[in-house]
Amino acid sequence: MTEKEGMSVRKSENFSDWYTQLVLKSELADYAPVQGAIVYREYSYDIWERIKEFFDSEIKKTGHKNTYFPLLIPESLLKKEADHFKGFVPEVFWVTHAGNEKLGERLAIRPTSETIIYYFWSKWIRSWRDLPVLLNNWNNVLRAEIKSTKPFIRGSEFLWQEGHTAHATQPEAEKEVLYILNLYKKLCEEFLAIPVLIGRKSEKEKFAGAQYTTTVEALMPDGKALQMGTSHNLGQNFSKPFEIKFLDKDKKEKFVWTTSWGFATRLIGAIVMVHGDDKGLILPPKVAPYQAVIVPIYYKESENKIVLQKSKEIFDSLTKQNVRVHLDDRAEYTPGWKFNEWEMKGVPIRIEIGPKDVAKNQVTIVRRDFPEKTEVKFSMLSKEINIMLESIQKNLLEKAKKFFKENTKSVKNYGEFKKTIEKGGFIKAAWCFDGDCEEKIKKDTGATIRAIPFVTEKTQEKCIYCGKNSKGLVFFAKAY
Amino acid sequence: MTEKEGMSVRKSENFSDWYTQLVLKSELADYAPVQGAIVYREYSYDIWERIKEFFDSEIKKTGHKNTYFPLLIPESLLKKEADHFKGFVPEVFWVTHAGNEKLGERLAIRPTSETIIYYFWSKWIRSWRDLPVLLNNWNNVLRAEIKSTKPFIRGSEFLWQEGHTAHATQPEAEKEVLYILNLYKKLCEEFLAIPVLIGRKSEKEKFAGAQYTTTVEALMPDGKALQMGTSHNLGQNFSKPFEIKFLDKDKKEKFVWTTSWGFATRLIGAIVMVHGDDKGLILPPKVAPYQAVIVPIYYKESENKIVLQKSKEIFDSLTKQNVRVHLDDRAEYTPGWKFNEWEMKGVPIRIEIGPKDVAKNQVTIVRRDFPEKTEVKFSMLSKEINIMLESIQKNLLEKAKKFFKENTKSVKNYGEFKKTIEKGGFIKAAWCFDGDCEEKIKKDTGATIRAIPFVTEKTQEKCIYCGKNSKGLVFFAKAY
C-alpha cells in the first residue's frame, strides 16, 4: 500500500473525515449514485455475515424462525396504525409505476415491516395453539435520508434483522422484549467488543406506534452516543387496528400482544469508530474476516521456494485449527506494502516469515492492537495464536470500557450540564420525566435522553432543567 | 390435521390447483396484497437457507465473495446498455417520490444488478492485479409480473443469488460460465434430487444484453420445462458502454470480460412439483427442515410419562448424530392428526413410539416416499435412519430421472412434433438454427427451444420445421 492509499487524516484531528476516509480506503463501502445509499463491499459484508451467524444461531435456539415478507406495502396498509404512519411517511420511497402502467394505489418500499406482517397475522392467527409466533427477517429496508448521511451509520438503505413476535399475554411479550435486548447487549460486548448501556426510551424517542421502546446505546470516540439496536413492546397498539385476535383456552376472543426488534449494518460503523486508529481498522477477532495474515518475506529468488512452502504449511495447520487465516503470496507487492494494507484492513495478527525464520523454525507475530512483536516456534504457533486472539478481543473491550467509563459523568446543575455536554459523552442526570424539559434541553444543547435505566436509582437531586422533583437519573448525550 | 386442512385435489387430476393448494396448505407461502407477490413463510425460508448454504460454501471455495449492492438504480444507468434496458423496462417498478418530494430522476427497483455493479467496477478496476473480480449477492429482485403468476415459479418479487464476475480474458470468462452451470446442475441433482439437462439458449431466448446464455432445465410432472438457473457470458457487451477497462501486464488498456449467473426461490417450486404427491410435500432429506419427526403415541395418562421420556432420549441421540429431528410432543393434537400434518409437510421419516414399542426397546419408522413401515431397535436407530435418509434421497432422484427419460422423445416430422408436444415433455429434434423457424414453431405449438446441447450430435435429419439442412439436435418444450 502506497502513502496515497494510506490514511491521511488522524482520528484525533478530524474524526468525521477520518471515519469516511477509512470506510472508503479499507474498501468496506463505497458511495452509490443514489443519495445516502452505499454498496456493502466484500469486506464489510463478510463482517455482517459473522454478526448474522452469531445472532441467528442464538435466536434459533429459542424457537425463532426466519421468514421473508414482501418489500412493497400498499399505502392503505401502512396507514392502519396512525402514529406509525405519521412517524415513517416522511422517509418513505413510493413506487407509482410498474413498467408503463400507473399503479392504482401507491406502494411503499418497506421502512420496517410491522404493517405487512400484521396483515398476514390477522389471517394466520386463530387460536392459542398458534401462539407464540416468533419470526425474524434478514432483509433490506429503505428510508429516504437526505441530511447527515454517513456510511453504515445513517443512509437511505440498510441491511438489518427485524424480529416480530405475537404472544397470548402481556408478560410474555415483556419477557421477549428484554430477552432480545440482553442478546443485543451480549452481541455488542462479547462479539463486537463494544460496551453498551441499556434502558428504556422516553416517550418522545420511542418507536412510532410502540407502547415502549428499549435500547442498547454505545459511545463513540467523538463523544456521541450511537443507538446499536432497539426492542419494542407494541402492546396491543397494532393488534387492535389490524384485528389480530385469537380464541384463548378460556374460549374468549382476545387481541395478541406484539413485539418488534432490530439491529442493522450500523454496527459495522460502530466497530470502525470504536476500535480503529490512525493506521486503519482494528477488528475484534470474533468478527474479523481474517484473524491472521501470513506475509512471506524473501528478497532473492533462491529463498522464495522454501519460504513459500513453509508459509503454506503454516496456513494449512492454522486452518485445521479453525483460525481464519489468509496467505498473502502475491508476487506483485512488497512485504512492506502488504504490512500497510493488512494494517489498514485491521487484521488482528500478522505472521511474518523469512528465510532466517525458517532456519530457526520460527515466525514473527505482530499484534494489530498495540505494537508487540513476538518470535514463536512453529510447534507453539497455533496455541500462541489462539491465546493472542483471545487477548486482543479482551483488550479491545477493556479499552472501550475505560473510555466509556471516563466519559460518563454526573453533573450537579444545568450550567455544568451544558459545559459537559459540549465535550461529549454520557451525562447521568436527574429528570422530572416531563417531555417539556426534555424538549428544551434538546433545543438548548442538542442532547437527547438516550436511555432511562430499568431500575432508576432513587435520588434527592432535582430535575436538571426545571428544578422540580426528579423521578430518577437518566442518560443524556448528543447522538448520531 | 383435519380433512378440511388436508389436500382436496389430486396431482394427476388438476396439477395447477394441486400445486397452489399444496403451497398454501403446507404453509410454504401465502399471497401478498400486491399482485404476484408472496410471503416466504418459515418452512420455505428454511429450505431456501439450506440451498443457500450448499451453494454459498461451494462458491466460496473458489474465491467468490458475497457483497450487497443498492436496490435502487437511476434510470440513466439502467439505460446504458440498450438491449438490456429494452428487455427489462416493461417489468420495472419505478420509484418517483421520496416522502413528499418528487425525485429529479426516476429510480428503478433492481430487476437484476448488472448496471449498478458495473457503475462501481468502472471505478474499482484499474489493473490486471484487480482481476478476476468474483462477486455474489443474495438479495431480492422485483419484476412486475401480471400474467400467469404462480407462487415461487413466477412472481413480482423473488429471492435469488446473482453472481457477477470480471475477467482479463475471454477464455477465463467462458470457464467461469461453465463452472457455475455445472454447479447448478450439481445443486439440482445431488441436493434437490431433480434431474436436469444443460445447454445454450437460442438467440431469442438469451439474457437481454448477453453474448450467450447457458441454462439448466428441468421437467415438471405436467410436461412443462422449468428453467432452474442461467449462467451468462456477457462478453464485452457491458464493459464497453460502462467503460470498465484495465491496464494489462503488456501495458495495454483493455476492456474486461464479464459474466453473470443466477438461480432463485423458484427452485422451491420445482421441489414441490417434482416430488409432491396427493398427501402433500415430499422433501429430499438434504433440503428438508426436519429429516425425521418423532410422534409419541399414548392414550392413557399412565403411559404418557414413559413414552415421552423415551421420545426425548431418541431426540437427543439423533440430534447428536446430526439428524435434523423434531419431537412433536403437543398434547393438544392426536397422533393421527400429527401423522397427516407431517405427511403434508413432507418430512422424509416418521418415528412412531408407543408404550408397546418402549417395552420392546423399539420404534416404528415410516418412509414418506413410499408406504413402508419398519420396526427398529433403539440401538440400531441412528444407523437405520441414516441409511433410510440416503435411500430416500436416491429414490427421489431415480424416480424423477425415470420420468425425465420417459418424457424426452425424438420425433421424425413436424406432424409428430405437434402431437407429441401436446402431451408434454421434451422433444429432441433437428433445427436449422434459423430464428424464423423457432418463432413459427412457438406460435404454432407454444413450444420454445429450451437448450442447445454444447456438443450437438451430428445428424442427417432435416430441420423439423422447414426441412432444410440441420445444424444439430436441440431440446424443445413448453415451459413455465
Question: Cβ of B92 and A98 within 8 Å?
Answer: yes
With 0-12 / 13-18 / 19 or more C-beta atoms within 10 angstroms meaning exposed / middle / buried, residue B154 is middle
Fold of B292-388: Rossmann fold (3.40.50)
Give the residue among A370, A293, A279, A280 at the shortest CA–CA distance from A335: A293
**What pLDDT shows up at residue B359?**
94
Question: Residue B162: its chain A contacts at CB < 8 A?
Answer: none
Q: Is B186 helix (H, G, I), strand (E, B) or coil?
A: helix
Checking if the pLDDT of B303 tops 90, the result is no
Q: Does A93 touch chain B (CB under 8 A)?
A: yes
Determine the topology of domain A292-403 in CATH: Rossmann fold (3.40.50)
* Residue range B15-275, CATH number: 3.30.930.10
The Cα–Cα gap between B11 and B3 comes to 17
Contact B78, B208 (CB under 8 A): no
Cell numbers at B432, concatenated: 436449422
Query: Is B38 in the A-facing interface, judged by CB distances under 8 Å?
Result: yes
* A437-461 residue pLDDT tens: 999 999 999 999 999 999 877 778 8
* CB–CB contact A98 B94 (8 Å): yes
- What is the predicted pLDDT for the residue at A5? 82
Surface-to-core class of residue B296, CB atoms within 10 Å of its CB (0-12 exposed, 13-18 middle, 19+ buried): buried
Instruction: Please judge whether A107 and B38 are an interchain contact, meaning their C-beta atoms are less than 8 angstroms apart.
Output: no
- Residue B225: what are its φ and ψ, rounded to 5°? -80, 150
Q: How far apart are CA A410 and CA A416, in angstroms?
A: 9
Chain A environment of B99 (Cβ under 8 Å): 89-92, 144
Check pLDDT > 70 for residue A3. no
Residues 232-251 in A contacting B (C-alpha not used; CB under 8 Å): none
How confident is the model at residue B456, as a pLDDT?
74
> Which pLDDT score, from 0 to 100, does residue B145 have?
80
Q: Which of A194, A220, A188, A145 is nearest to A58 (CA)?
A: A188
Radius of gyration of chain A (CA): 25
Phi and psi at B398, nearest 5°, equal: -60, -45
Q: pLDDT by residue (tens digit) across B182-206? A: 999 999 999 999 999 999 999 999 9
| φ and ψ of A60, to 5 deg | -70, -35
> Is pLDDT above 80 for A247?
yes
What φ, ψ does residue A167 adopt, rounded to 5°? -130, 160
Q: Which residues pair with A367 in a beta bridge?
A: A349
Per-residue pLDDT tens digits for A29-85: 999 999 899 999 999 999 999 999 999 999 999 999 999 999 999 999 999 988 888
What does the pLDDT read at residue A171? 98
Environment class of residue B300 by beta-carbon count within 10 Å: exposed (0-12), middle (13-18) or buried (19+)?
A: exposed
Say if the Cβ atoms of B120 and A332 lie within 8 Å: no
pLDDT of residue A145: 80
Question: Using a CB-CB distance cutoff of 8 angstroms, which residues of chain B are in contact with residue A116?
Answer: 32-33
Q: Do A77 and B37 touch (CB under 8 A)?
A: no
Give me chain B's average pLDDT, please: 96
Q: Which residues of B touch A39 (CB under 8 A)?
A: 67-70, 120
Q: Looking at residues B306-319, what average pLDDT do you find? A: 96
Average of per-residue pLDDT across A9-24: 97
Q: Are B45 and B267 in contact (CB under 8 A)?
A: no
Residue length of chain B: 480
pLDDT band of residue A169 (cuts 50, 70, 90) is very high
Nearest to B95 among A42, A65, A94 (CB): A94
Residues 173-202 of A with CB under 8 A from B: none
**How high is the pLDDT of residue B69?**
98
Contact present, A471 and A456 (Cβ < 8 Å): yes
Per-residue model confidence as pLDDT tens digits over B369-398: 998 899 999 999 999 999 999 999 999 999
Looking at chain A from residue 44 to 83, which residues have their Cβ under 8 Å from any Cβ of chain B? Answer: 45-46, 48-49, 65-74, 77
Q: Is B437 on the interface with A (CB under 8 A)?
A: no
Q: Which of A475, A439, A468 is nearest to A454 (CA)?
A: A475
CB < 8 Å to B65, chain A: 42, 45-46
Q: How far apart, in whole angstroms, are the C-alpha atoms of residue A6 and residue A36?
A: 25
Domain A408-477 annotated CATH 2.10.260.10: no
pLDDT at A303 over 90: no
A109 contacts chain B (CB < 8 A): yes
User: Residue ranges of the domains in chain B?
Assistant: 15-275, 292-388, 408-477
pLDDT tens-digit series, residues B137-196: 999 999 998 778 999 999 999 999 999 999 999 999 999 999 999 999 999 999 999 999
Cβ contacts of A142 on chain B, cutoff 8 Å: 71-72
Structure confidence by residue, pLDDT tens digits, A370-420 = 988 999 999 999 999 999 999 999 999 999 999 999 999 999 899 999 999
Q: How close is the nearest chain B Cα to the Cα of A74, in Å?
A: 7
| Residue B168 · residue B132 · CB < 8 Å | yes
Give the pLDDT score at B185. Answer: 98
Q: Which residues of A, range 333-392, sit inside 8 Å of B by Cβ?
A: none
Chain A residues whose CB is inside 8 A of the B68 CB are 39-40, 45, 48, 140, 159
Q: Which of B42, B71, B95 sits opposite A67 (nearest CB)?
A: B42
pLDDT category of residue A96 using cuts at 50, 70 and 90: very high
Per-residue pLDDT, B3:
67
Rounded CA separation B271/B274 (Å): 5
Q: Are A37 and B72 inside 8 Å of each other by CB? A: yes
Looking at residues A301-320, what average pLDDT do you find?
94
Q: Which residues of B164-176 are buried (b: 16+ CB within 10 A; e: fewer)?
A: bbbbbeeebbbeb
In SS3 terms, chain A reads as CCCCCCCCCCCCCCHHHHHHHHHHHCCCEEECCCCCCEEECHHHHHHHHHHHHHHHHHHHHCCCEECECCCEEEHHHHCCCHHHHHHHHHHCEEEEEECCEEEEEEEEECCCCHHHHHHHHHHHCCEHHHCCEEEEEEEEEECCCCCCCECCCECCEEEEEEEEEEECCHHHHHHHHHHHHHHHHHHHHHHCCCCCEEEECCCCCCCCCCCEEEEEEEECCCCCEEEEEEEEEEECCCCCCCCCEEECCCCCEEECEEEEEEEECHHHHHHHHHHCECCECCCCCCCCCCCEEEEECCCCHHHHHHHHHHHHHHHHHHHHCCCCEEECCCCCCCHHHHHHHHHHCCCCEEEEECHHHHHCCEEEEEECCCCCEEEEEHHHHHHHHHHHHHHHHHHHHHHHHHHHHHCEEECCCHHHHHHHHHHCCEEEEEECCCHHHHHHHHHHHCCEEEEECCCCCCCCCECCCCCCECCEEEEEECEC
Using CB atoms, which residue from B67, B95, B135 is nearest to A93?
A: B95
- Count of residues for chain A? 480
Q: Ramachandran region of residue A77, left (φ > 0), alpha (ψ -120 to 50) or beta?
A: alpha
pLDDT for position A48: 98
What is the share, in percent, of chain A residues with pLDDT greater than 70?
100
- The whole-angstrom distance between A394's CA and the closest CA on chain B is 29
What are the cell numbers at A73? 406495502
The residue of chain B with its CA nearest to that of A24 is B124
ipTM confidence score: 0.96
Contact (Cβ atoms closer than 8 angstroms) between residue B168 and residue B248: yes
The answer on pLDDT for B22 being more than 80 is yes
Which SS3 state, helix, strand or coil, does residue B225 take?
A: strand
B71 → closest Cβ in A46, A73, A157: A157
pLDDT band at residue A361 using 50, 70 and 90 as cut-offs: very high
Question: Does A24 reach chain B within 8 Å, measured CB to CB?
Answer: no
The whole-chain average pLDDT of chain A stands at 96
Could you tell me what percent of chain A has a pLDDT over 90? 91
Which of A68, A130, A337 to mutate: most B Cβ within 10 Å? A68
C-alpha cell belonging to residue A123: 389471517
Say if the Cβ atoms of B97 and A93 lie within 8 Å: yes
| A81 or A256, higher pLDDT | A256
Contact check, Cβ <8 Å, A109/B95? yes
Q: Does B332 contact A at CB distance below 8 Å?
A: yes
Task: Characterize B110-132 residue by residue with b for buried, 16 or more Cβ atoms within 10 angstroms of its Cβ, and e for exposed.
Answer: bbbbbbbbbbbbbeebeebeebb
Nearest to A289 by CA among A281, A300, A301, A277: A281
Do residues B346 and B44 make contact, with C-beta atoms less than 8 angstroms apart? no
Cβ(A56)–Cβ(A64) under 8 Å?
no
